[in-house]
Amino acid sequence: MNSKSIAKEKFVFKDMVKVENILSNYPDKKSATLPLLHLAQSQDGYITTGAINTIADLLDYHPAIVMDCVSFYTMLYTKAQGKYKVQICQTLSCSLNGADALVDHMQNKCGIKAGETTPDEKYTLMKVECLGSCGTAPVVQINNDYHEGLSIEKFDALLENLE
Amino acid sequence: MSEFKPILTEHIKDDDCHSLSFYKKAGGYTALKLALKMKPEDVIEEVKSSNLRGRGGAGFSAGLKWTFIPKDTAKPKYLINNADESEPGTFKDRLLINKAPHQMLEGMIIASYAINCNTAFIYIRGEFYKEYQQLKKTITEAYEANLLGKGILGSDYNLDVVIHRGAGAYICGEETGLIESLEGKRGWPRLKPPFPAIEGYLRCPTIVNNVETLSCVPHIINRGAEWFKSIGPEKGPGPRLFCVSGRVNNPGVFEEEMGISLEDLIFKRAGGIPDGKKLKAVFPGGSSSAILTADEAMDVKMDFDDLVAKKSMLGSAGVIVMDETVNMVQACLNIARFYAHESCGQCTPCREGTMWLVKILQRLVAGEGKDTDIDMLLEITDNIGGLIDFSKGSFGKTICPFGEAVAWPVRSFVEKFETEFRSCIHEKLVLA
Amino acid sequence: MPFIKIDNTEFEVSKDKTVLEVALENNIEIPHYCYHPALEIAGSCRMCLVEIEGMPKLQVSCNTFIGEVHPDRKIDGKYDMVVHTQNELVTKERKNILEFLLLNHPLDCPVCDQAGECDLQDYSFKFGNAHSRFDEDKRVRPNEYLGSQIAINHNRCILCSRCTRFTREVSGTSELFVEQRGYNSKIAIMEDNPLDNLLAGNVTDICPVGALLSTDYIHKNRIWNLKRQPSVCQDCSVGCNIDVFSQKDKIIRLTPRENHKVNGYFMCDIGRYGFHKYENIERITSPLHKTNGAFSKINWDRAINKIVDKLKTNVSKTAAIASSFHTNETNYMLGRFFQGLIGTFPSTQDKEITYPSGFRISGDRSPNKRGMNDLCPQIVKDLPSEIKKQKIRGIYILDNGIDTELDDTWKKILDKMDFVIVQSYIMTPLAKSADIILPGLAPFESEGTITNDRGHVQWLRPSLPVEGEGRPDWEILNLIDKTENRYIDINDLMKDMGKQFPSYSDISLFKLGDRGISLSEIAKS
């Protein structure tokens, strides 16, 4: 089943060796959907329509099914995000330990609400659910890194120090 | 309270504890050598008789689950290590992956050997990026040391392990949701039957086990099922990692034997509640369990059966402590909002019902409650998932246990703190 | 064979059926949305929950398979399964599921196309609460086009996922998918791949509510105003079974009818919207005679007499042209009356399209080539050369009804003829070349039988009243036959037809009924 759609924006994986490795890991190549989406996102910062079409071709999937997958997961973005995705956990343990104050602080400091990006595209503020580190609440994930046990001061310093 | 000598987390304070060399020096991979000399069915029998129960949340007997794999099928079999730890209040698997990855891997290899599987997966939640990097190193070390790949340790057993990152979906921790996600689709749980042990990944027999469950396996093989059974209650024994968080002085992961009293866990190990405040309510087993009031909590042993008797569950042993400064309506809304966010949307009661709960709770929190709200909350939770008292209600309304996971906590909040909920209506206070 | 009880009725069932399948086959109503016999089981709407004795949870009957149990475990000593579909527990749960479904569903019945044939309406009335207890803001999203013919009203959608499963499993084109998750889930398409495949229209049929709508039918009418006539599609040689919905003298819409020997559950869009091509045509409503290059009306008697005269004097010099667009009866009459040369116009071959589910659109876009060849076996292969060889002077033609220019060969042939008689309902270029035109019936006005390309004979039934002075095409040929061989009516004709052509023996409209009969079945009996 080849996709019939025209790739308006072309997307090419920079590292095809990695792609081949990923594909060879699985008994069924369709299982490579998520790893390839992660790879495409690491290239462009988000998942473009071109990436969806390219991945669909590689996997003999229709692009709509790949898009179905992309839109299900919170870590996959279909729009460009800020350089630093500041993801503040808001589930119970973090909420009981000052997470809401961190959100307020960033909203005031950067002038953006949750889900928005600063005009200079440096920060995107996201409220996320449990990050699995409740013992060191409150927890903030910036891009791939966890920052745990943050007070407002530590959080502020953290934001300031991001280039 | 006597100190429990840690088994799973024995070495986590050591700087090098994640490396293969350290693990080997500490006696690691002895169990694997033993297991490879046993017949696979004997390995299953040993784990089954140890009464090891799943530590992911469901608490099903691990060894028994392994026996469900059909013996007479030509289809390949798969083992999936469920490292999609997303249950609020739970953070033990992260610790094990960071600090004792080889222990978990050894458990995986033994389990794979027992069920005749040659390809195993680790499904790790996408947010655990550092842990993913650690696992890549661990797997590489294992391949280099002939612990993975062809002819493991000179036997004729082959195993490949693939690490698969999730991308942010709590429902992918549910075993069939995980399998769907692993197959490259959206994580919509499947109808059961057929069960994964019969038709799982790619419709082949599949076993899904939790990180901590697999980490117990080497110890069972090394020291025997009887030894394991002697730790804590016989029906659900073993060392257990309890996570305590929320309003406590020393939140963290505490390894104890099954059956430790919740009171000890909160007040002794986790240092009690800051500022001298009083306990108000506590989640004993992650946010999918029913909350216990302070009085109830004082009388609880943290094991599977006692908590069921107290109309809650041990689940993932994620203890979340709430003190008198916590408003129950707000806490309830926080949890309901989590479930509404994570609902996969496949079946009607969960998709529509969880958001309905959120909307009612939002009104209550904003001081816009109605008299009918309390009964409505109870009714909706009953319609999504069942009541904890099995004799009173019905189940099976949702495809997966997510329905019960949202119904039990929300219902327990409303039932046990009804006065507080009602005061939101009548006093029309706008809360912080 | 498993022996079960559903409510108060006992059944012996074949293995590996689900409770829902057994119930539906036996007219026991278990409400359901996401289940469809042509699609994989989803089990997501939760509407078909039933109580099964011995199972602690309620079970979805669409995914509960029936098998034999060990004699020790049989209920009441004899049942492999006992199912309750109407008890208090099940009724209560149904009410609750309906309440959830209606939570965000707008109260659109007065303006919704689906009203009158809506499962949500019907089940709410039968099983639901009288009012909703939902006091919050509903989830509201704007309507969208999913394709050129399909619109979606997201607010009405209950996410049964039948449409997405259809595009994956039946048409294999996968245009539709579910976007996002949880409360915000909605049906979507990729911008550059809208729902425009040839089976797209079927999603509006399988949508149990008024979410997916056919732009061809939106707000045109109400189902209770329409007359429903089962019939057969005439846009290709597959002969999909259809329901024709009409009001007075207008066809409003077509929907597929189930027939496992022909089309399964679906039909293609060529056939679905094909009825439009018969609107706004230049219709012939009375016999016409050409004098000095222009047509003038004449009455039937005069027309028939003129033709009879012409044929008498030219009996060995007249050829006839049969048509795969006409019924078996008409072609049979032609073959019976014209003992000389008979042929057909060259047929065009379009692309044959097959879908993963097995659904087929034939490359032969005429409905009855097989029947025509069966009942007019004297059709020659190369008519133009035979016409030349036999020095034919006149032609009697059954018009295909296709409004296209003739090719040069045929223009020349017809030009040279002494007389050309055309039986047609539409003023095609072919009809224009005639000396006498006899008005036949348009496709939705005729009655008769047609045989599809797999040898399945089906009953074509009329939905529209006859226009003007048109007559059934077989009857026109009956009028020309001035002998005592004339038939009284179509049933009389069919009896004789069956005698002349044993492969069609014993066929009557009554026997064909809704599902038709295949020639191989007739041969066996």
Q: Over the stretch C358-397, which tens digit does the pLDDT of each residue have?
A: 999 999 999 999 999 999 999 999 999 999 999 999 999 9
A5–C172 C-beta distance less than 8 A: no
Q: What is the mean pLDDT of residues C328-353?
A: 92
Are B371 and B413 found together in one domain?
yes
Are B278 and B193 found together in one domain?
no
**Phi, psi at B79, each rounded to 5°:** -115, 135
Mutate to test the interface with B, among C39, C46, C105 (most CBs of B within 10 A): C46
Instruction: Tell me what pLDDT residue A2 has.
Output: 37
Confidence of residue B391 (pLDDT cuts 50, 70, 90): low
Q: What is the CATH number of domain C3-86?
A: 3.10.20.740
C47–B348 C-beta distance less than 8 A: yes
C99–B191 C-beta distance less than 8 A: no
Q: Do domains C3-86 and C288-524 have the same CATH topology?
A: no
Quote the number of domains for chain B.
3
Tens of pLDDT, residues B49-98: 999 999 999 899 999 999 999 999 999 999 999 999 999 999 999 999 99
Q: From the centroid of its chain, how far is CA C81?
A: 38
Are B210 and B287 found together in one domain?
no
A130–B338 C-beta distance less than 8 A: yes
Are B137 and B197 found together in one domain?
yes
Residues 109-168 on C with a CB inside 8 Å of B are 133-137, 139, 158-159, 161
C182–B351 C-beta distance less than 8 A: yes
Q: Where do the domains of chain A lie?
A: 16-72, 84-160
Distance between CA atoms of residues C18 and C358, nearest Å: 23
Using CB atoms, pick whichever of A37, A74, A91 lies closest to residue B88.
A91
Using CB atoms, pick whichever of B127, B202, B246 lies closest to residue A27.
B202
Give the dihedral sign, CA C326/C329/C330/C332: positive
Are B68 and B208 found together in one domain?
yes
Mutate to test the interface with C, among A1, A33, A61, A62 (most CBs of C within 10 A): A62
The residue in chain A having the minimum alpha-carbon distance to the alpha carbon of residue B243 is A135
Q: What is the mean pLDDT of residues C1-10?
A: 92
Are B114 and B74 found together in one domain?
yes
Look at residue C284 and tell me whether its pLDDT is greater than 80.
Answer: yes
Q: Are A72 and B187 in contact (CB under 8 A)?
A: yes
Distance between CA atoms of residues C323 and C318, nearest Å: 17
Distance between CA atoms of residues C289 and C296, nearest Å: 5
Using CB atoms, pick whichever of C174, C176, C192 lies closest to residue A8.
C192
Look at residue C336 and tell me whether its pLDDT is greater than 80.
Answer: yes
B397–C58 C-beta distance less than 8 A: yes
Residue B1 lies in a domain: no
DSSP per residue over C56-114, as a string? SS-EEGGG-B-----GGG-BTTTBSEEEESSSHHHHHHHHHHHHHHHSS----GGG-TT
Are B271 and B347 found together in one domain?
no
Q: What is the mean pLDDT of residues A6-26?
A: 86
Q: What is the mean pLDDT of chain C?
A: 93
Strand partners, C394: C318, C419
Look at residue C130 and tell me whether its pLDDT is greater than 80.
Answer: no
Instruction: Tell me what pLDDT residue A3 has.
Output: 40
Residue B3 lies in a domain: no
Neighbours of chain B (3+ CB pairs under 8 A): A, C
Chain A residues with CB-CB distance to C180 below 8 A: 71-72
Lowest mean pLDDT among B174-183, C54-63, C447-456: C54-63
Chain A residues with CB-CB distance to B287 below 8 A: 91-92
User: CATH number of the domain that B178 lies in?
Assistant: 3.40.50.11540
Amino acid residing at C525: S
Residues 65-124 on A with a CB inside 8 Å of B are 65, 68-69, 72-76, 90-93, 95-97
Are B47 and B143 found together in one domain?
yes
Determine the distance in angstroms separating the CA of B120 from the nearest CA of chain A, rounded to an integer.
10
DSSP per residue over B185-253, as a string? S--PPPPSSSPTTTS-GGGS-EEEEEHHHHHHHHHHHHH-HHHHHTSS-TTS-SEEEEEEEES-SS-EE
Q: What is the mean pLDDT of residues C489-497?
A: 93
User: CATH number of the domain that B386 lies in?
Assistant: 1.20.1440.230
Determine the distance in angstroms separating the CA of C172 from the nearest CA of chain A, rounded to an integer.
8
Look at residue A162 and tell me whether its pLDDT is greater than 60.
Answer: yes
What order of strands is seen across the sheet that includes strand C227-232? C227-232, C241-247, C250-256
Confidence of residue A4 (pLDDT cuts 50, 70, 90): very low
Mutate to test the interface with A, among B9, B86, B90, B91 (most CBs of A within 10 A): B91
Are B190 and B135 found together in one domain?
yes
A8–C177 C-beta distance less than 8 A: no
Does A64 contact B at CB distance below 8 Å?
A: no
How much of chain C is in helix, strand and coil states, percent to nearest 5?
30, 20, 50
Interface size, chain B vs chain C, as Cβ–Cβ contacts under 8 Å = 100
The residue in chain B having the minimum alpha-carbon distance to the alpha carbon of residue A41 is B167
pTM value is 0.94
Determine the distance in angstroms separating the CA of C194 from the nearest CA of chain A, rounded to an integer.
10
Distance between CA atoms of residues B215 and B103, nearest Å: 6
- Comparing C-alpha atoms, which of C372, C515, C371, C377 is closest to residue C455? C371
Are B36 and B116 found together in one domain?
yes
Determine the distance in angstroms separating the CA of B91 from the nearest CA of chain C, rounded to an integer.
25
Task: Quickly count: other Cβ atoms within 10 Å of residue B74's Cβ.
Answer: 5
Using CB atoms, pick whichever of B345, B359, B396 lies closest to residue C49.
B396
Using CB atoms, pick whichever of B76, B182, B245 lies closest to residue A135.
B245
The residue in chain C having the minimum alpha-carbon distance to the alpha carbon of residue B191 is C43
C49–B397 C-beta distance less than 8 A: yes
Neighbours of chain A (3+ CB pairs under 8 A): B, C
C99–B354 C-beta distance less than 8 A: no
Q: Which residue reads 């019976």 in tokens? A: C336
Chain B residues with CB-CB distance to C139 below 8 A: 355
Instruction: Tell me what pLDDT residue A6 has.
Output: 46
Domain at C288-524, CATH class: alpha beta
**Phi, psi at C10, each rounded to 5°:** -100, 145
* Topology, domain A16-72: Arc Repressor Mutant, subunit A (1.10.10)
Residue B8 lies in a domain: no
Q: What is the CATH number of domain C141-278?
A: 3.30.70.20
Lowest mean pLDDT among C241-245, C267-271, C316-320, C445-449: C316-320
User: CATH number of the domain that B297 lies in?
Assistant: 3.10.20.600
Q: Which residues of A touch C (CB under 8 A)?
A: 1, 3-6, 8, 49, 52, 62-65, 67-68, 71-72
User: Which of B300, B323, B346 represents a domain boundary (last residue)?
Assistant: B323
> Does the domain made of A84-160 have the CATH classification 1.10.580.10?
no
Look at residue B416 and tell me whether its pLDDT is greater than 50.
Answer: yes
Buried b (16+ CB within 10 A) or exposed e, B167-185: bbbbbbbbbbbbbbbbbbb
* Structural domain of B40: 20-229
- Residue C74: CA count within 13 A, CB half-sphere: 13
User: Which of B293, B323, B353 represents a domain boundary (last residue)?
Assistant: B323
Using CB atoms, pick whichever of A63, A64, A71 lies closest to residue C180.
A71
Are B248 and B153 found together in one domain?
no
Instruction: Tell me what pLDDT residue B388 has.
Output: 61
User: Which of B323, B346, B370 represents a domain boundary (last residue)?
Assistant: B323
The residue in chain C having the minimum alpha-carbon distance to the alpha carbon of residue B358 is C136
Q: Where do the domains of chain C lie?
A: 3-86, 141-278, 288-524
Are B198 and B58 found together in one domain?
yes
